[in-house]
Amino acid sequence: MIDINKQIEFWCEAAKEDWEVASDLVDRNRVRHGLFFAHLALEKALKAHVCLVTQDLAPRLHNLIRLSEIAELSLNPDQLDVLAEMNAFNIEGRYPDTLSPPPDKKQALEYIAKSKKVFQWLIDQL
């Protein structure tokens, strides 16, 4: 039998750790990697919500919008926009043939600031 509380705790703690790594990398101007980890942190926070709602293991998906739908979250349009924007950094971090120039540090910090609001909201809802 699956221990759902253990799954939720795992995803939540891993998300928080990845968020710290994301922030640190962007601060050190490792923008592409930092935004990849920001996506990963959002993904893991969403997977905690999926486990909570479905009472099952989270699917092996990376699409933040789809995960939010499975988690049955009531996100506002701004939050959905952030998730949609951040999806791009998952693809760029995994598939080198799709690499476009990374945002500059200023743009990356803006992505981090917008994403942090969504990330914190997700964590606060658990």
How do residues 2-32 score in pLDDT, each as one tens digit? Answer: 999 999 999 999 999 999 999 999 999 999 9
**The two structure tokens encoding residue 109:** 């910090």
Question: How high is the pLDDT of residue 101?
Answer: 81
Q: Domain 4-124 falls in which CATH fold?
A: Four Helix Bundle (Hemerythrin (Met), subunit A) (1.20.120)
Per-residue pLDDT at 29: 96
pLDDT tens readout for residues 52-68:
999 999 999 999 999 99
Helices (H) and strands (E) in the chain, counts: 5, 0
Structural domain boundaries of the chain?
4-124
- Kindly tell me if the per-residue pLDDT of 108 is higher than 80: yes
**Is it the case that residue 76 has pLDDT exceeding 80?**
yes
Q: Higher model confidence: residue 41 or residue 90?
A: 41
Q: Please state the pTM of the whole predicted model.
A: 0.95
Distances (CA, A) of 96 to 67, 91, 92, 100: 24, 9, 6, 9
Q: Which has the minimum average pLDDT: 99-103, 105-109, 122-126?
A: 99-103
Q: What is the pLDDT of residue 102?
A: 82
Mean pLDDT of the chain: 94
Task: Give the span between the Cα atoms of 3 and 98, in whole angstroms.
Answer: 38
Closest of 54, 59, 85, 89 to residue 71, by C-alpha: 54
